[in-house]
């Protein structure tokens, strides 16, 4: 592969906040708290410190609004299970993080009417590509709250120990493999490593760097994930692993 390495690959959203569809079950007070405030349930998939930070934001919001009370519901690893069960029973949160729009779209509230009321300046405050991720068949179902930027980092000390020059903007994957091989031979350390997590977004950026992706604009994987360019990426990492110059597993091998 002679494609240039993408120094910084911007992924699509890792999470977007959105409203669920109308028709959810409400309590006997018709969505009101005991003191007459509008009750809003906000579901998050985050855990630990992230939940603590979100709770502080919820508390601040509640302090600033006399007529609304938000309750944070932290689902963690059970997020999809609880959201699916809630949609099936008609008892979903009012606001939630979302990533799988095709799976949940039938139970979500279209937001275009609300967004249009805010005017063009509101929508223009976000990167346009983020709206593409939140939309399905021309309908917007989510409001962007963040995105993830992935980069390649390198250990300067290892490069010095191995006598390898530092990367430049015109490096290719072939250059990286050559450097990784030298670092492995000279220092005994893996020349390249990445963590293979279940989230496929963590790997797709490597396909982007070779001019391909998991699927096309219509969501079709045929001709994309099995394309010549994709196969080159998969084979490259397989070869690097076989040559022992890349640690492509979750844990370091013994």
Give the residue with greater pLDDT, 202 vs 10: 202
Average pLDDT over the chain, rounded to an integer: 81
DSSP letters along 15-38, please?
A: -EEEEBPS-----TTSSB-TTSPE
Q: Output the pTM of the full model.
A: 0.62
Q: What is the pLDDT of residues 85-107, one digit of tens each?
A: 988 888 889 999 888 888 888 88
Interacting residues of 210 by C-beta distance below 8 A, sequence separation 6+: 1, 3, 173, 229, 230, 232, 233
CA dihedral 46, 47, 49, 53 (to 10 degrees): 40
Q: How far is C-alpha 128 from the chain's CA centre?
A: 16
Q: What is the pLDDT of residues 225-242, one digit of tens each?
A: 999 999 998 898 888 888
Interacting residues of 206 by C-beta distance below 8 A, sequence separation 6+: 233, 237
Model confidence at 16: pLDDT above 80: no
- Give every strand in the sheet of 95-98, ordered side by side: 68-74, 38-44, 95-98, 16-19, 143-144
Q: Which two tokens stand for residue 71?
A: 């309750």
Give the residue with greater pLDDT, 160 vs 130: 160
- pLDDT in the model for residue 10: 28
| Domains of the chain (ranges, CATH numbers) | 16-144 (3.40.190.10), 152-247 (3.40.190.10)
Q: What is the pLDDT of residues 28-66, one digit of tens each?
A: 456 787 788 899 999 999 899 999 999 999 999 999 999
Q: CA triplet 177, 151, 191: central angle to 5 degrees? A: 30
Q: What is the CA radius of gyration of the chain?
A: 23
């Amino acid at each position: 592969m002679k494609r240039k390495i993408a120094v910084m690959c911007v992924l699509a959203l890792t999470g977007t906040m959105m409203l669920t569809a109308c028709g959810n079950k409400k309590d006997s007070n018709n969505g009101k708290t005991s003191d007459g405030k509008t009750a809003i349930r906000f579901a998050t998939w985050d855990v630990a410190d992230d939940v603590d930070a979100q709770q502080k934001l919820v508390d601040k919001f509640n302090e600033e609004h006399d007529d609304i009370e938000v309750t944070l519901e932290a689902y963690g690893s059970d997020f999809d299970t609880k959201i699916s069960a809630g949609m099936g029973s008609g008892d979903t949160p009012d606001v939630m993080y979302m990533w799988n729009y095709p799976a949940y779209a039938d139970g979500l509230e279209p937001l275009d009417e609300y967004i249009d009321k805010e005017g063009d300046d509101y929508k223009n405050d976000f990167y346009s590509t983020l709206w593409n991720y939140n939309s399905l068949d021309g309908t917007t179902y989510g409001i962007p709250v963040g995105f993830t930027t992935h980069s390649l980092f390198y250990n300067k000390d290892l490069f010095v120990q191995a006598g390898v020059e530092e990367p430049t903007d015109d490096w290719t994957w072939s250059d990286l493999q050559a450097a990784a091989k030298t670092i492995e031979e000279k220092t005994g350390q893996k020349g390249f490593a990445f963590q293979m997590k279940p989230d496929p977004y963590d790997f797709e950026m490597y396909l982007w760097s070779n001019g391909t992706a998991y699927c096309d604009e219509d969501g079709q994987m045929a001709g994309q994930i099995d394309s010549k360019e994709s196969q080159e990426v998969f084979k490259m990492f397989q070869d690097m692993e076989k040559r022992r110059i890349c640690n492509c597993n979750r844990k370091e091998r013994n």
